[in-house]
Amino acid sequence: MRSVHVDDIVRTIRDLAIRANTELGDDVLRAFEAALEKEESPTGRDILKRLIENAEIARAEKIPMCQDTGFAVVFVDMGQDVHIEGGSLREAVEEGVRQGYRDGYLRKSICHPFTRQNTGDNTPAIIHIDVQPGDHFRLILAPKGGGSENMSRVTMLTPAVGIQGVKDFVVQRVKESGPNPCPPTIVGVGIGGTFEQAALLAKKALLRPLGSPNPDPELGALEADWLEAINRLGIGPQGLGGRITSLAVHILMMPCHIASLPVAVNIQCHAARHKEASL
Amino acid sequence: MPDAIVLQTPLSEQDVTALKIGDRVLLNGVLYTARDAAHKRLVELLEKGQPLPFDLSGQVIYYVGPSPAQPGRPVGAAGPTTSYRMDAYAPLLIRHGLRGMIGKGARSDAVKDAMRRHKAVYFAAIGGAGALMARSILSAEVIAYPELGPEAVRRLEVKDFPVIVANDVHGGDLYQEGVRRYARTA
């Protein structure tokens, strides 16, 4: 049995919230550079250059790359031999979010669904806890912006539509989203499970680093094929026309009910933010 | 790529009539910020015939909810939010003299129609480039609805604030024409 103190969780979540919002991952920057090689639209190329410049300013001046610093989505991957010491795990995560969004001058974007009254400290966080054998304790914080989340969808397809039907749904979703989710986007696709599990798979698919292959080569081939179809749409950077609408398609899949074919598309804007730490 | 057009707000009818989709523009002067919640209040005032917190005539509204300013800075990150959420309110503001809007994403037919009819223009700013765009903001002052937090109405002084003409007064729509130019049909 290993102990992890809540104070360390608070401190770590605080730092992850600030770093995730100010330091864009090198994988995303490399994807921008690669996109710049392929983009033919002058406007699109200008936008990609400015996104690289924006990331450099954010990192150097420690200000958020985007004013929408998102809903704090936190994944806790922990071993069943870990004991949380000194308080509640969930409350520690919430407190870390509270401190990070306060100390990092991050925007508080969470409100009551009807009155729209802001909660004032960007809580609650969305917390996904996964317990596996072992004594590891890993935290991932992925701030999720509203513009791209608004363009995401879950659907329950008829199994008979097969791979083509899923592809059509994914490509159509990107097409209908047009400029709204801040392209170039990353398209997270969850296939299988249940209604809610498909959505979670789609979100988790976004955590895979850009440029890393899908561990399943068959899914990897689908990702390449669907990305090509998406980049034929012509939407381009910011939706103003161009070759690069999406930087990647990432798929996670699991078995589903014999009656069902759940599919979720979680669209991620180019500010593809997530940072992780192990305690 | 041609040089950017430098404009000073408030914008005249001549200023916006000369603009075409795809033009790169550097805005100077004053911009007012407003998102959904502020738009709802502005429209309610207009419908009651009451004065607005600022004179709309020739002005440009920027759809933005900045992140909090660090000490010594006028504003935090300040990129555009998605514009369709303001579509229900924009035509009335345009009828009352609003000359320009800055946001991201396509507009409704009703907004485009109002822009043509009353000579207003819609600029796209780069979504997600909030750190970059904050560099063009010299000062920010909350002038109405402070209780809305990031959604309060702010008066921004800007210098060479970079935007692209997405909808012009001649009916041009870069979101449609740009995509048509690069789409590949199977």
pLDDT for A115 equals 87
> Taking the mean position of all CA atoms in its chain, how far away is CA B157?
14
**Helix ranges (DSSP H) in chain A:** 6-22, 26-38, 42-61, 89-103, 146-149, 162-177, 195-205, 217-231
Contact, A133 vs A80, CB < 8 A?
A: yes
Instruction: Determine the residue among B20, B26, B67, B168 to mutate to test chain A binding: the one whose Cβ has the most chain A Cβ atoms within 10 Å.
Output: B67
- Best probe of the A interface among B36, B126, B161, by most A CBs < 10 A, is B126
Size of interface A-B (CB pairs under 8 A): 167
B182–A40 CB contact, under 8 Å = yes
The model carries a pTM of 0.94
How far is the first Cα of chain A from the last one, in angstroms, to the nearest whole number?
14
The amino acid sitting at B135 is R
DSSP per-residue letters across chain B: -PPPEEEESSPPHHHHHT--TT-EEEEEEEEEE--HHHHHHHHHHHHTTPPPSS--TT-EEE---PPPPPTT-S-S--PPPBGGGGTTTHHHHHHTT--EEEEBS---HHHHHHHHHHT-EEEEP-TT-HHHHHTTEEEEEEEE-GGGGGGSEEEEEEEEEEEEEEE-TTS-BHHHHHHHHH----
Give the per-residue pLDDT at B150. Answer: 85
Residues of chain A numbered 182-241 and touching chain B (CB < 8 Å): 182, 232-236, 238-241
Pair B158, B61: CB distance under 8 Å:
no
CA distances from B42 to B61, B65, B96, B137 (A): 12, 16, 11, 24
A18 SS3 class: helix
Report the C-alpha gap between A173 and A262 in whole angstroms: 15
Contact A108 B166 (CB under 8 A): no
Strands A137-144 and A275-278, how do they pair? antiparallel
Nearest CA-CA distance, residue A94 and chain B, Å: 20
Average pLDDT over residues A16-43: 96
Q: Give pLDDT < 50 ranges for chain B.
A: none
Which chain B residues are Cβ-neighbours of A43 within 8 angstroms?
22, 164, 178
Segment A245-255 shows an average pLDDT of: 98
Which pLDDT does position A236 carry in this prediction? 97
Across the strands, what pairs with A129? A76
Distance CA A265, CA A167 (A): 11
Active site residue B39: yes
Give me the residue from A40, A63, A109 closest to B77, CB to CB: A63
Residue for token pair 């802001």: A118
Could you read off the pLDDT of B73-102 as tens digits, one per residue?
A: 999 999 999 999 999 999 999 999 999 999
- Amino acid sitting at position A171: V
Confidence (pLDDT) at B148: 87
Put residue B105 in one of left, alpha, beta given phi > 0 → left and psi -120 to 50 → alpha.
left
Q: Which residues, in sequence order, are bridge partners of residue A266?
A: A188
| Interchain pair B131, A58: CB under 8 A | yes
Give Rg (Cα) of chain B. 16
Dmax (CA) of chain A: 58
How distant, in Å, are the alpha carbons of A68, A96, A177, B7, B128 from that of A147?
9, 24, 10, 29, 10
DSSP state of A160: G
How many angstroms separate the Cα of A247 from the Cα of each of A13, A20, A274, B121?
28, 19, 16, 31
pLDDT at B1: 66
A95-113 pLDDT per residue, tens: 999 999 999 999 999 999 9
Please report where in the chains the tokens 């035509």 appear, as a residue: B91
pLDDT at A163: 98
Q: Which of B85, B179, B180 to mutate to test the interface with A (most CBs of A within 10 A)?
A: B179
Average pLDDT over residues A205-221: 97
Alpha carbon distance B52, B45 (integer Å): 7
Q: What is the ipTM of this complex?
A: 0.91
In eight-state DSSP terms, residue A118 is B
Contact map slice: B 39-78 vs A, CB within 8 A: 64-70, 73, 76-78
Instruction: Look at residues A30, A56, A137 and name the one whose alpha carbon lies nearest to residue A92.
Output: A137
- Cβ count within 10 A of residue B160: 12
- At residue B186, the pLDDT reads 55
| CA gap A277, B3 in Å, rounded | 45
